[in-house]
Amino acid sequence: MSNVSHPEGYVVAVLGATGLVGQTMIAILEERNFPVRTLIPLAATSGGRTVHFRGADIPVKQVQPESFDGVDIAIFSAGGAASLMYAPEAASRGCVVVDNSSAWRMDANVPLVVSQVNPGALKPHNGIIANPNCSTMQLAPLLKALSDAAGLERVVVATYQSVSGAGAKSVADLVQQRATVVSGGNATSTIYPHAVVSSPIPAIDVFLPDGSTKEETKVVNESRKILDLPSLRISATAVRVPIERSHSEAVHVELSRALSPDQARAAFAGMQGVTVVDDPVNHAYPLAADAAGSDEIFVGRVRTDNSVEHGLAFWVVSDNVRKGAATNAVQIAELLVKMNLVHGARHDA
Amino acid sequence: MSNVSHPEGYVVAVLGATGLVGQTMIAILEERNFPVRTLIPLAATSGGRTVHFRGADIPVKQVQPESFDGVDIAIFSAGGAASLMYAPEAASRGCVVVDNSSAWRMDANVPLVVSQVNPGALKPHNGIIANPNCSTMQLAPLLKALSDAAGLERVVVATYQSVSGAGAKSVADLVQQRATVVSGGNATSTIYPHAVVSSPIPAIDVFLPDGSTKEETKVVNESRKILDLPSLRISATAVRVPIERSHSEAVHVELSRALSPDQARAAFAGMQGVTVVDDPVNHAYPLAADAAGSDEIFVGRVRTDNSVEHGLAFWVVSDNVRKGAATNAVQIAELLVKMNLVHGARHDA
Q: Chain A: nearest CA to B337, how far in angstroms? A: 36
How far is Cα A39 from Cα A42, in angstroms, rounded to an integer? 10
Model confidence at B344: pLDDT above 80: no
Q: What is the pLDDT of residues B220-253, one digit of tens each?
A: 999 999 999 999 999 999 999 999 999 999 999 9
pLDDT beyond 80 at A322:
yes
Given this model, what pLDDT does residue A48 score?
Answer: 86
Give B294-314 as a DSSP string: ---EEEEEEEE-TTSTTEEEE
Predicted local confidence at residue B3, as pLDDT? 36
Asked if the model's pLDDT at residue B103 lies above 80, the reply is yes
* Chain B closest-CA separation from residue A58 CA (Å): 29
| Helix or strand run (H / E) with residue A86 | helix A80-92
* Selection from A86, A70, A72, A112 nearest residue A16 by Cα: A86
Q: Which residue of B has its CA nearest to A308?
A: B233
**Gap between the Cα atoms of B97 and B329, Å rounded:** 10
pLDDT in tens, A211-263: 999 999 999 999 999 999 999 999 999 999 999 999 999 999 999 999 999 99
Q: Is A194 a catalytic residue?
A: no
User: Would you say residue B1 has pLDDT above 70?
Assistant: no
pTM reported for the whole predicted model: 0.95
CB pairs under 8 A between A and B: 169
CB contact under 8 A, A305 and B235: yes
Strand, coil or helix: A312:
strand
Confidence at residue B4, expressed as pLDDT on a 0 to 100 scale: 40
Report the candidate in A159, A142, A140, A154 with the shortest Cα–Cα distance to residue A305. Answer: A154
- Mean pLDDT (chain A, rounded): 95
DSSP character at residue A325: I
The neighbour count for residue B64, using CB atoms within 10 Å, is: 10
Residues near A291 by beta carbon (within 8 Å), at least 6 away in sequence: A245, A246, A298, A317, A318, A319
* Residue A234 contacts B, CB cutoff 8 Å: yes
pLDDT confidence of residue B6: 45
Q: What is the dihedral of CA B334, B340, B346, B347, to 10 degrees?
A: -100
Is B2 touching A (CB cutoff 8 A)?
no
Is the ipTM higher than 0.90? The answer is yes
CATH tag, B10-132+326-338: 3.40.50.720
Asked whether A321 and A330 are in contact (CB, 8 A), the reply is no
Distance CA B83, CA B44 (A): 11
* Strand residue runs (E) in B70-134: 73-76, 96-99, 128-130
pLDDT tens for residues A121-180?
Answer: 999 899 999 999 999 999 999 999 999 999 999 999 999 999 999 999 999 999 999 999
Say if the Cβ atoms of B237 and A243 lie within 8 Å.
Answer: no
CB contact under 8 A, A198 and B243: yes
| In the predicted structure, residue B346 carries a pLDDT above the cut 70 | no
CATH 1.10.645.10 fits B135-320, yes or no: no
Chain A residues 198-227 with CB within 8 Å of chain B? 198-203, 207, 210-213, 220
Write the residue in B156, B280, B300 that is nearest to A156 by C-beta.
Answer: B156
Residues in chain A within 8 Å Cβ distance of B313: 235, 237
Work out the average pLDDT over A268-286.
98
Out of B250, B281, B290, the one facing A158 most closely (by C-beta) is: B250
pLDDT at B7: 57
Domain edges within chain A:
10-131+326-338, 135-320
Question: What residues 8-37 of chain A have any CB closer than 8 A to a CB of chain B?
Answer: none
Class at the top of the CATH hierarchy for domain A10-131+326-338: alpha beta
